[in-house]
Structure 1
Amino acid sequence: MKVHKILNNNVVVTLDPKGNELIVTGRGVGFKKREGDLIDPKLIEKQFSLHNQEILPKFAELLSEIPIEVHTTSDIIINHAKQFLGNKLQDSIYISLTDHIYFAIERHKQGFDIPNNFIWEIKKFYPKEYEIGLYALDVIKKRLGVELHEDEAGFITFHIVNAELNDTMPNIVNMTKIMREILNIVKYHFRFEYDENSLSYQRFVTHLKFFAHRILSQGKPVQQDSTLYEIIREKYEQAYFCTKQIDLHLIQQYQHPLSDDESLYLTIHIERLRAELKK
């Protein structure tokens, strides 16, 4: 393995057998090295081979600017997230999360912690990802000696969800906002409190997550047979009236009228919640 580029004493770029760039990190791995020199394998702590070669230059730049301890800590958190969720995360997580952790630490040192206004919703809507956020705070405290506020677990959660959905961070925040608004419409329409441990509630939240994502990404739902929609509308009349309130809200706030398909599935989920809470 030979040096292709030197970013700093601890970060170098090499090439794999196919000519793709690999980033190699380790204390002193680039010290007094020149292009073409052999890399000492004993100094290698981590290799990054990103599937998306387009983001590699930006990641390399980040590695050269941020302390290696922060990168190593971020990598531990990302590997844990992948194992815990069993999902593939977009390569962009290596940039977004590492960058966020570094600046969160810097802000904290300056006494400038940012409150997270969505912390309640984050805990409810993304419980698994939030658990990773709490794990991240523990790792940061143990490895970097910085105790960040719990609100930062929520911000880290957004980055994890972002990497799962491959969406932009503002969209993830707005997605959470839409979910909260719809849950409140249903709650106040029927004047009930949610049983957040119920299967119906969890199914509804999961449906809302992808529904809100589709709205913000301007995706179009596949239209179903309108006959089924008519049957559901008549059978679950109370739930359908609630769905119409959601429809009016989405038109006013997001210029997104519900399609028959979207109304169908929202009505079914709302009816499940309503029926369960009547028992």
Structure 2
Amino acid sequence: MIIKRILNNNAVMSVDESGEDIIVKGKGIAFQKKSGDEINQNKIDKIFVIKNQEINRRYQEILVHIPYDCINACEDMIDVIKANIHKELSDKIYVTLTDHIFNLLERVKMGIVFDNALLWDVKRLYREEYQAGLLVVEMIRELFDIKIEDDEACFIALHIVNAQMNTEFKEVIEITTMIDDVYDIVESCFDLNIDKDGLEYTRFIMHLRVFFERIINQQNIHSEKSQTLLKTLQNEYLKQYQCVLKILDYVSMKYDEALEGEILYLLVHVIKLTEH
């Protein structure tokens, strides 16, 4: 492989056999090298193939501006996350999480503490991601010998969720708040203690995540598949149907989208959630 561009002493741009741009990393891989030189195969630690050009560009900036040891530690953390999260993650996590952790280390040095107002929401809505975040927090403590609270796992969890969605980080915050509001609507409609470890609760939360992601990305909301089934459920589960209408009223106040196509699917999830 030939060096196309030197990013720093430990990372270069090159191309693979198919002509795809790749990022090649290794301790001192660019030391005393220049563009056009052959890459020393013995110094290669990792090769990244990032097909999204915007993510590729942003990761190159990360490699230029963030210390090598921090980047390597973040890659180890992402490996741990992938081993504990059973969902596909976008390559952008290499950008967003690395940038977040680097800024976290800088904040700790300056004694800056962020208030996590979403703490309870994140722990409740993204339990798997929060647990992975706790593992990363422990790694940060050990690798960088710093004291940070477990609350930091909430921010990390949100970055994990962001890597699962086709959205920006600020929109993940927005979605999290809206899911929590919808959950409050359901609880206010029914005097019950919802099993947050139950399958129906997990499915309901996942449906809401996808639902709000589609709205934010202005994707078409699917149309009703069966008006007959909707009428049947509406008559049989009137209280759940009225709850769904409250949810749609809430969403309509925030977004100017046609939501009729969501009624049946929301109703089915609310029925399952409240009948168990």
Q: What's the TM-score once normalised by structure 1's chain length?
A: 0.90
Other-structure match for 1:39: 39
Other-structure match for 2:8: 8
Distance of aligned partners of 1:269 and 1:87 in 2 relative to their CA distance in 1, 3 Å threshold:
closer
Other-structure match for 1:136: 136
Distance across 1 between alignment mates of 2:269 and 2:86: 26
Per mean C-alpha deviation after superposition, the further-off stretch among 19-28 and 175-184 is 19-28
**Shift in Å at residue 171 of structure 1?**
1.4
Distance across 2 between alignment mates of 1:232 and 1:86: 33
Distance across 2 between alignment mates of 1:86 and 1:185: 29
Quick check: 1:113–1:149 contact (8 Å CA) kept in 2? no
Is the partner of 1:6 in helix, strand or coil?
strand
Is the partner of 1:24 in helix, strand or coil?
strand
Distance across 2 between alignment mates of 1:196 and 1:89: 24
**1:213 and 2:216 correspond:** no
Other-structure match for 2:83: 83
The aligned runs of 1:140-159 (5 Å cut-off) are 140-159=140-159
Distance across 2 between alignment mates of 1:167 and 1:175: 10
Quick check: 1:201–1:273 contact (8 Å CA) kept in 2? yes
**Shift in Å at residue 69 of structure 1?**
1.2
Is the partner of 1:174 in helix, strand or coil?
helix
Count matched residues. Answer: 275
The aligned runs of 1:1-279 (5 Å cut-off) are 1-223=1-223, 224-256=225-257, 258-259=259-260, 261-276=261-276
**Shift in Å at residue 179 of structure 1?**
0.7
Distance of aligned partners of 1:142 and 1:192 in 2 relative to their CA distance in 1, 3 Å threshold:
same
What are the ranges of 5 or more consecutive residues in structure 1 without an aligned counterpart?
Answer: none
Distance across 2 between alignment mates of 1:79 and 1:124: 24
Distance across 2 between alignment mates of 1:42 and 1:205: 47
Per mean C-alpha deviation after superposition, the further-off stretch among 91-100 and 143-152 is 143-152
Distance across 1 between alignment mates of 2:149 and 2:53: 34
Letter of the 2:241 partner, please give it.
Y
Quick check: 1:69–1:144 contact (8 Å CA) kept in 2? no
**Shift in Å at residue 152 of structure 1?**
2.0
Distance across 1 between alignment mates of 2:58 and 2:267: 45
**Structure 1 runs, 4 residues or longer, greater than 6 Å off:** none
Distance across 1 between alignment mates of 2:49 and 2:247: 45
Letter of the 1:245 partner, please give it.
K
Is the partner of 2:23 in helix, strand or coil?
strand
**Shift in Å at residue 61 of structure 1?**
1.9
Q: Identity of paired residues, percent? A: 34
Distance across 2 between alignment mates of 1:147 and 1:45: 30
Distance of aligned partners of 1:20 and 1:229 in 2 relative to their CA distance in 1, 3 Å threshold:
same
Letter of the 1:243 partner, please give it.
V
Distance across 1 between alignment mates of 2:123 and 2:257: 27
Is the partner of 1:23 in helix, strand or coil?
strand
The one-character-per-residue Cα deviations of 1:209-242 (angstroms, maximum 9, x if unpaired) are 2222222222222212222211111111111111
Distance across 2 between alignment mates of 1:91 and 1:256: 30
Letter of the 2:48 partner, please give it.
F
Letter of the 2:248 partner, please give it.
D
Distance across 2 between alignment mates of 1:275 and 1:102: 46
Is the partner of 1:267 in helix, strand or coil?
helix
Quick check: 1:23–1:48 contact (8 Å CA) kept in 2? yes
Letter of the 1:28 partner, please give it.
G
Distance across 2 between alignment mates of 1:89 and 1:135: 17
Distance across 1 between alignment mates of 2:59 and 2:273: 45
Quick check: 2:2–2:36 contact (8 Å CA) kept in 1? yes
**Shift in Å at residue 256 of structure 1?**
4.3
Quick check: 1:247–1:257 contact (8 Å CA) kept in 2? no
Q: What's the TM-score once normalised by structure 2's chain length?
A: 0.91
Distance across 2 between alignment mates of 1:273 and 1:48: 42
Distance of aligned partners of 1:143 and 1:254 in 2 relative to their CA distance in 1, 3 Å threshold:
same
**Shift in Å at residue 184 of structure 1?**
0.5
The one-character-per-residue Cα deviations of 1:165-210 (angstroms, maximum 9, x if unpaired) are 1211111111111111111011112233322123332222222222
